[in-house]
Amino acid sequence: MPEQRRILIVDDDARNIKVAANALNDTGVVIGFAKSGEEALNRLRETPFDLILLDVMMPRLDGFQVCSRLKEDPRTAGIPVIFLTARTDEESIERAYEVGGIDYVSKPFRTRELAARVRVQLRQLDLIERLEFLATRDSLTGVFNRRRFFELGSVMLAEFRGELVAMMIDVDHFKRINDAYGHQVGDAVLRQIASTIETTLPQGALFGRLGGEEFALLVRVRDAEEAMVYADRLRECVASIDLAQVEGSGLRCTISIGLSVAEGDVSLDAVLNEADRMLYRAKDEGRNRAVLRG
């Protein structure tokens, strides 16, 4: 069940807010409101909204200026804006689209028409989110795919350089599972491992499947020791997964982990390569173990 959509109505006249909110009664959305452009920008910094109904004529910051600012900020640029205004001249309508508005409704509006236009935008949002999910997730496990992992990982590295550890995680002797039980069971095992790892993730950690039976993790840690404690716990969690539901015959599997702390101005590629080298060492040393560069 998707979360309820949130709509922000921005108008300097409280009566207009009330009329618009009433018009949306049957759409099942949660309504927030702001009585000036400044208040709207502040609210949007604190609370996420899915759609904005924006008046144009307001003192100080007008609706066009508010919309331009929203579109300049990557955190709010994706929120669709419907202008709701008494202005009906062609120049204003053109301007509304130029500054990034997605629709334009003139006041006084017809309530069912406003609700219908809002519903159209909410349907578009559902579609965009669905497409975004497909483009950024691994289809087998639902965790981030390689592309998204690298996109988010680069941002994370820029922000938390020096506090991050990269981990490369590989399932041990996975080919044997495929060979013995078939590819479908192999798939189910990968899904189970991914979801188990997800349940252990500390706040803010980034986890993705880079391909095959290889996963990667970026985690904020105080020091290398904390990273090793976490990696060992992760390993134990996977080793203790009861794969009985998957295969029913006492099937177990283990993972090996290579770790590298992101130091200096190391790139994401470099730190993951280093973690990968440590992963090979873990495999060489007998598997079901974690090895930290150092």
Ligand X SMILES: Nc1nc2c(ncn2[C@@H]2O[C@H](COP(=O)(O)OP(=O)(O)OP(=O)(O)O)[C@@H](O)[C@H]2O)c(=O)[nH]1
Residues binding ligand X (CB under 6 A): 140, 170-175, 178, 183, 186-187, 190, 212-213, 283, 287
Between 203 and 249, whose beta carbon lies closer to ligand X?
249
The residue type found at 234 is L
- Write the CB contacts of 157 (distance below 8 Å, at least 6 apart in sequence): 164, 218, 262, 267, 268, 271
- Closer of 141 and 260 to ligand X (Cβ): 141
Q: Provide the annotated active-site residues.
A: 213
Residue 20 vs 190, nearer CB to ligand X: 190
C-beta of 177: minimal distance to ligand X in Å? 8
46: exposed, middle or buried (Cβ count in 10 Å: 0-12, 13-18, 19+)? exposed
Comparing CB distances to ligand X, the nearer of 106 and 184 is 184
Cis, bond preceding 80 (omega within 30 deg of 0): no
Q: Which helix (H) or strand (E) holds 32?
A: strand 30-34
What tokens does 43 get? 């609210």
Whether residue 55 contacts residue 84, with contact meaning beta carbons closer than 8 Å, is answered with yes
Residue nearest ligand X, CB atom distance? 186
Q: CB of residue 239 vs ligand X: minimum separation in angstroms?
A: 14
C-alpha span between 82 and 101 (Å, rounded): 6
Closest distance between ligand X and the C-beta of residue 289, in Å?
12
CB of 40 to ligand X, least distance (A): 46
Residues 205-223 as b or e (16 or more Cβ within 10 Å = b): bbbbbbeebbbbbbbbbee
CB 213, min distance to ligand X, A: 5
Q: How far is the CB of 248 from ligand X (least distance, A)?
A: 17
- Residue 130 or 175 having the CB closest to ligand X: 175
| Cα 196 from Cα 241, distance rounded (Å) | 8
User: Whole-angstrom Cα distance, residue 247 to residue 158?
Assistant: 43
**What do you get for the CA distance between the two ends of the chain, in Å?**
47
What's the sign of the alpha-carbon dihedral 142, 146, 150, 151? negative
* Tokens encoding 284: 């060489």
> Which residue's CB is nearer to ligand X, number 175 or number 252?
175
